[in-house]
Amino acid sequence: MCGIAGFMHADRNRPVDPETLVAMAAIQHHRGPDGFGWRSQDGVGFSHARLSIIDLDENRGRQPFASDDGRLMLTKNGELYDFQRIRAELTATGARFRTRSDSEIVMHLYPRYGLDGTLPRLRGEFAFALYDKDDDRLMLVRDRFGIKPLYWTEVNGMLVFGSELKVLFAHPEVPRRFSPAGVYHQLMQTMVPGTTAFEGIHQVRPGHLLDVRRRDGRLQIEERKYWDMEFPQENEHPTRFDEQDYIEGVRSQLLEAVQHRLTADVPVGSYLSGGIDSCAILGLAAAAQQNPVKAFTIGFDNSEYDESAIATEMAQSAGADQDILMLDADHLYDHFEETLWHTERTIYNTLGVAKLLMSRHVTSVDYKVVLTGEGSDELFGGYPAFRRDMFLHGLDHLQADERREWEALLAESNKLFRGAMLAENAVENAALTERVGFTPSCLQPWLASAQQVPALLNQDLARELEGYDPGAAIAAQFDPAMLQGRHPLDKAQYVWIKTMLEGQILTWGGDRVDMANSMEARPPFLDHHLAEYATRIPPSMRIHGRTEKYVLREAMKGLLPDVLYKREKFAFMAPPAHTDPRKWAAVQDLAARHLTPSAIADAGLLDSAGVDALFRLHEAPDTGTATQVQLDASINHLLGVQILHRHFVAADIPQQARETANRLGWRP
């Protein structure tokens, strides 16, 4: 894992400033502290901050790469698995490799197969920029699920890209200002796919590539999809099947994904919570390595949210070397501002802070690669929102009273997360219902919180956004061809993957807080071979009656302790602010710095009266628990937009980047 950066001028004769390239690498040195490099030609410049995982030689693995004939230039972030086999095949056809890096295979695949033939051969999590001098073509490519970030903007006849927003902002010509809709979506938690909080700054969407060519002194930019999570038509799911076939298929596919992700020239550990996802990964990794695996567990001082005891049972069962990081409730908000510098977006729960502290602990004991359990719920129907959509829309045989009973049981078992994982009351959005067939339960809590947003906005922003429908903006980004004719559970999972997975779990719960401390996280469940297999699993094998992730439970039954095998899905979250007076006091301390009338006026984003009213509602004695959960999230977002303004709009990031480069001794 590394950090990449660069730009392409519309005028190929316009000089590339190497100091800017180095500064763009330096501002993200946390992603790659093991070295840097830069390269340019014909008005195109790349730079790279390196975290050495494969091929540790400082000089041999240095990027950006250039081909021997000068045609190609590459800078890449992430990992490509099964690269040894591909490398051997290419060598047999005459390719000659200069490094042992997994990245170099792209340089040999592309001339032989073109981009369309190369991408299906790439397995893993990655974001890369490839420049083809012969075609005068820049290609920005992001992995299938968006595990690795990749941002871009067009400004002043130039396309600028990088692994993080601050990398783009380190370029002196890139403006830094919020977009009105961006502020709206930061306050309601759910972003429009492909967007950011900032005007003119975009993300390459998961499974997409940006194709940039120069024509007549201008840049022609085309974004196109190369992969999607394509479920079969509802009538293509088999009605009669052998359960064991799917159980064995999941076991085989997951084991292969884990084995590939154990490939490294450094030790590989594993994150371990009390859920079956990380427990399954640990169990398979321990069996594959036949040696004790270092297992890292987060514990909280609130027993209702702490899973460390269950994780310990799994660690003992697998013979793992467990390392538990216990976190105090009020300690998390001490690092809230630092976390937002890395997430570059607001967060609704301090789990992101907890994971930043954990990645720091992991690197402090000399580990920089861990396996994680992200993606399991997305593939196998693990979230309570999926169960709700299943019994509301996917089980035609259920009687109305049965549906009500199942919904009541679901609400009771997830009462800690009501207001976050499940809406307190049903929320409908016409545009989403038209595009999906119903309003997915996973979006309903955030659509509910969106109703509060207009009153929180600066009056000028509120007027500009009058009549804005955030649900419609999100719905417009879903490919209708991927939803039409699909089973309701397939639709619900697809929507989550396009919104919550990429926008939250893999950003402020994944890459950004992991790489903040130069730590690489590898999620085997998001191997695209496993994902494509999972789309073919009948919905009743994913959610079997009231049991979520049924097929995964059965596939992993042999290595899970009984308590884990029988345990219902428990969302991994940090205790919200209202659950502990110390946490609420820490929130108030942050508010005293960032949500004062003068701070709000300086940023020009929020309305002081609306902010005060929301705090009063939070502290009212008759405010229900579910409402408090939602208000906790809203307050985190209010703090978030103010902190983002301070660090990314008001600050001089180009100057910070240059100073960082000087401090590191990174020079052209």
CATH number at residue 270: 3.40.50.620
pLDDT of residue 131: 98
pLDDT of residue 60: 66
pLDDT of residue 575: 76
Do 66 and 105 lie in one domain? The reply is: yes
Do 90 and 218 lie in one domain? The reply is: yes
Domain contains 15: yes
- Among 2, 73, 379, 526, the active-site one is 2
Domain contains 667: no
pLDDT of residue 545: 82
Do 559 and 595 lie in one domain? The reply is: no
Domain contains 367: yes
Do 628 and 536 lie in one domain? The reply is: no
Do 342 and 402 lie in one domain? The reply is: no
Mean pLDDT of 508-526: 96
Domain contains 224: yes
CATH number at residue 134: 3.60.20.10
Mean pLDDT of 435-464: 95
Do 346 and 414 lie in one domain? The reply is: no
Q: Does the pLDDT of residue 330 top 80, yes or no?
A: no
Do 524 and 643 lie in one domain? The reply is: no
Structural domain range at position 222: 2-228
Percent of the chain with pLDDT over 70: 94
Domain contains 353: yes
Q: Tell me the whole-structure pTM to 2 decimals.
A: 0.95
Q: For the ranges 157-171, 212-226, 413-427, which has the lowest average pLDDT?
A: 413-427
Quick: pLDDT tens for 239-296.
899 999 999 999 999 999 999 999 988 999 999 998 899 999 999 999 998 889 999 9
Confidence of residue 567 (pLDDT cuts 50, 70, 90): confident
pLDDT of residue 414: 55
Confidence of residue 646 (pLDDT cuts 50, 70, 90): very high
Confidence of residue 399 (pLDDT cuts 50, 70, 90): low
- For 288-317, b/e burial (b = at least 16 CB within 10 A) is eeeeebbbbbbbbebeebbbbebbbbbbeb
pLDDT of residue 256: 97
pLDDT of residue 181: 97
Do residues 78 and 125 lie in contact, with contact meaning Cβ atoms separated by under 8 Å? yes
pLDDT of residue 596: 97
Do 166 and 53 lie in one domain? The reply is: yes
Specify the DSSP element, H or E, that contains 616.
helix 608-619
Do 292 and 367 lie in one domain? The reply is: yes
Quick: pLDDT tens for 13-32.
999 999 999 999 999 999 99
Q: For the ranges 316-320, 368-372, 405-409, 505-509, which has the lowest average pLDDT?
A: 405-409
pLDDT of residue 301: 85
Do 71 and 195 lie in one domain? The reply is: yes
Q: Does the pLDDT of residue 398 top 60, yes or no?
A: no
Token pair belonging to 541: 């094998």
d(CA 593, CA 603): 13
Please choose, from the candidates 133, 515, 575, 159, the residue with its C-alpha nearest in 3D space to the C-alpha of residue 360: 515
Quick: pLDDT tens for 345-396.
999 999 999 999 999 999 999 999 999 999 999 999 999 899 989 988 887 6
Phi, psi of 160 (to 5 degrees): -115, 135
| Residue at token pair 């929301």 | 614
Q: For the ranges 104-108, 376-380, 467-471, 630-634, which has the lowest average pLDDT?
A: 630-634
Active site residue 2: yes
Confidence of residue 570 (pLDDT cuts 50, 70, 90): low
Q: What share of the chain is helix, strand, coil (3-state, %, to 5)?
A: 50, 15, 35
Domain contains 246: no
Confidence of residue 123 (pLDDT cuts 50, 70, 90): very high
Do 188 and 333 lie in one domain? The reply is: no
Do residues 295 and 315 lie in contact, with contact meaning Cβ atoms separated by under 8 Å? yes
Confidence of residue 574 (pLDDT cuts 50, 70, 90): confident
Do 8 and 148 lie in one domain? The reply is: yes
178-182: long-range contacts at Cβ-Cβ below 8 A with a sequence spacing of 24 or more?
178/605, 178/641, 178/644, 178/645, 178/649, 180/461, 180/464, 180/465, 181/465, 181/468, 181/470, 181/473
Q: How many other β-carbons are positioned within 10 Å of the β-carbon of residue 82?
A: 18
End position of a domain, from candidates 441, 467, 496: 496
Domain contains 513: yes
d(CA 206, CA 479): 13
Domain contains 385: yes
pLDDT of residue 303: 73
pLDDT of residue 626: 75
Q: Does the pLDDT of residue 51 top 60, yes or no?
A: yes
Domain count, the chain: 4
